[in-house]
Structure 1
Amino acid sequence: MKVSLWTDKKLIKGAEPVFLKGHKKTGILLFHGWSSSPQELNPDYVPSTAKYLNSLGYTVYIPLRIGQGTRAEDLDGLHWEDWVDDARKHFDLFLKEVDRVIVGGMSMGGQLALKISVERPVVGVIAMGTPVFMNMDPLFRVWAWLNRKNRKMMHKRYLPQDREIAMKKIHYIEYPAYQLYENAKASWEIRKILPEVKAPILVVHSANDNVVDPMSAKYLLKKVGSKDKQLFWVKNSYHSFTTDRNSGVASKVMGDFVNRISR
């Protein structure tokens, strides 16, 4: 498959899209998180979720989302609706390569997977670390609203115990301040459509999530319209658990889910 890029700018090394060909008719489309890159789901320093799922015979595609993988300033001007439209294009492109699609994603990538699942034919959904509520959510919402028109660049802050792992990720360490509002808006929009999510769903969330309130996982499981739904807690990992020590454990659970629903 000719992988689609949103830009002809020079990419950060390691931020390239991932396409791993498999022999099965079902493919897996994964979206990385906000300000991140495909490496989030295909790291080389812990067991890779993408490579594990591909080893089971599935074609795996992790596109580089619009505005990502170059420089943080390229996020300026982008909104939730732009990322949804971008996700639709990648789904339609991937469906030309496989007969059926399972869609998933990390963090905002999980929100995009949920959105796509109500608009496109999918076999199942994998929602990883997907935000409905942020840690200190009331404060976050106020801060996001106050910065909704602020385009000044802001730096991310990391807890000491998370900094080492976070610095291994290929991602932006700064962002336009108004992007906080776009993240909040994404969570609001996703809450509205959860009853419309009917496909089998696996919710995977870090029990120690330092960014997204773990209550989000329980809320998702309760509100989705799916009859086939499952929740798995990843222990001793931070928000992007696919880049942390227990990524292999989480990948195995995802593989079991994918094998079951794609029979």
Structure 2
Amino acid sequence: MTEYMPGAEPFEFKGDGCSVLVLHGFTGSTQSMRYLGQTLNEKFGFHVLGPCLAGHGTSPDEMEKTGFQDWMASADAAFQQLAARGKPVFVTGLSMGGMLTLGLAEVYADQIAGVIPINAIAGENDGGLAELILAPEAPPRIPGIGSDIKAEGVEELAYAEVPVKCLRDVYLAQAAIGDRLDKISCPVMIIQSREDHVVRPMNAHRIMTRVGSSDVRLRWLDNSYHVATLDNDKDLIAQTTGRFIQEVLAGDG
């Protein structure tokens, strides 16, 4: 049985409404998505599931044993669990979780009711990451990338170091998923911080212009950095996500 760091445990908030899958980011944990999940459950009545992706919430040593296929498998298993409820399923995720959100929407284009990628990485990079993963002399690990948060005194529960092997996997995956955005046909609400020190905000434009959906919306955040779900705009994110889901459901009715 997996032993998670305190606060990194998977969560489920049961509700009578539609299902919402919430996915955390690279080297992070469910701690970054718990507030969003709980708010969607308490204020909107949605049934919310927040899995901890393979290799996360434990230790960098455990993460180093995993890769994209493992992280995607975690997201896929959680999606299948929610789909079994027989109600519409929406997916949202932060950063790499947003990338996995888009990946699920590409694979299950006819089953997912809508997606809300938050500061998602989808093929727009500044080149620094490419130089690192291609360098023959690249170290096995680099300092962590967590806690890019504008609000004072708020910390993300994330690894203090990042296995470069896993960075190579996420780089390949975001490029591939970013090239398949045209397969997404469900409604999309993109949420993106204007100032993000981890993922280039241009990813929002890439998603918006390349998805195949006819219903694509974009909400900019003015008071948060990368881990926006823990930052100053966390309530705005919950409200935007909840209302988007309600509007999609009302349109389907």
Pair in the same fold by TM > 0.5: yes
Mapped partners of 1:207, 1:161: distance in 2: 13
Mapped partners of 2:197, 2:222: distance in 1: 12
Mapped partners of 1:133, 1:53: distance in 2: 29
Alpha carbons of structure 1 residues 262 and 186: separation in structure 2 relative to 1, 3 Å: same
Report the equivalent of 1:45.
Answer: none
* Aligned residue pair count: 247
Letter aligned with residue 15 of structure 1: A
Describe how 1:131-210 pairs up with structure 2 within 5 A. 131-133=121-123, 137-146=126-135, 152-156=140-144, 168-210=155-197
Give 5+ residue unaligned stretches, structure 1: 1-7, 43-47
Give 5+ residue unaligned stretches, structure 2: none
Residue 11 of structure 2 corresponds to residue 21 of structure 1: no
Percent sequence identity is: 27
Secondary structure, aligned partner of 2:74 = helix
Alpha carbons of structure 1 residues 244 and 159: separation in structure 2 relative to 1, 3 Å: closer
Secondary structure, aligned partner of 1:203 = strand
Q: CA deviation at 1:85?
A: 2.1
Report the equivalent of 1:68.
Answer: 56
Describe how 1:20-99 pairs up with structure 2 within 5 A. 20-24=13-17, 26-42=18-34, 48-54=35-41, 55-99=43-87
Q: Aligned-pair RMSD on alpha carbons?
A: 2.2
Mapped partners of 2:130, 2:153: distance in 1: 26
Question: Residues 125-179 of structure 1: CA distance to partner in whole angstroms, max 9, x if unpaired?
Answer: 11100013566x12221212226x967232226799759556x211111121222
Mapped partners of 2:246, 2:53: distance in 1: 27
The answer to whether the 8 A contact 1:73-1:175 is kept is no
Report the equivalent of 1:112.
Answer: 100
Alpha carbons of structure 1 residues 80 and 163: separation in structure 2 relative to 1, 3 Å: farther
Letter aligned with residue 226 of structure 2: H
Letter aligned with residue 16 of structure 1: E
Mapped partners of 2:30, 2:149: distance in 1: 23
Q: CA deviation at 1:240?
A: 1.0
Secondary structure, aligned partner of 2:199 = coil
The answer to whether the 8 A contact 1:125-1:201 is kept is yes
The answer to whether the 8 A contact 1:38-1:62 is kept is yes
Q: CA deviation at 1:30?
A: 1.0
Letter aligned with residue 22 of structure 2: L
Alpha carbons of structure 1 residues 74 and 27: separation in structure 2 relative to 1, 3 Å: same
Secondary structure, aligned partner of 2:223 = coil
User: What is the TM-score normalised by the length of structure 1?
Assistant: 0.87
Mapped partners of 1:98, 1:194: distance in 2: 26
Mapped partners of 2:66, 2:4: distance in 1: 18
Question: Residues 98-143 of structure 1: CA distance to partner in whole angstroms, max 9, x if unpaired?
Answer: 42200111111111111111222100011100013566x1222121
Residue 204 of structure 2 corresponds to residue 217 of structure 1: yes
User: What is the TM-score normalised by the length of structure 2?
Assistant: 0.90
Report the equivalent of 1:122.
Answer: 112
The answer to whether the 8 A contact 1:134-1:140 is kept is no
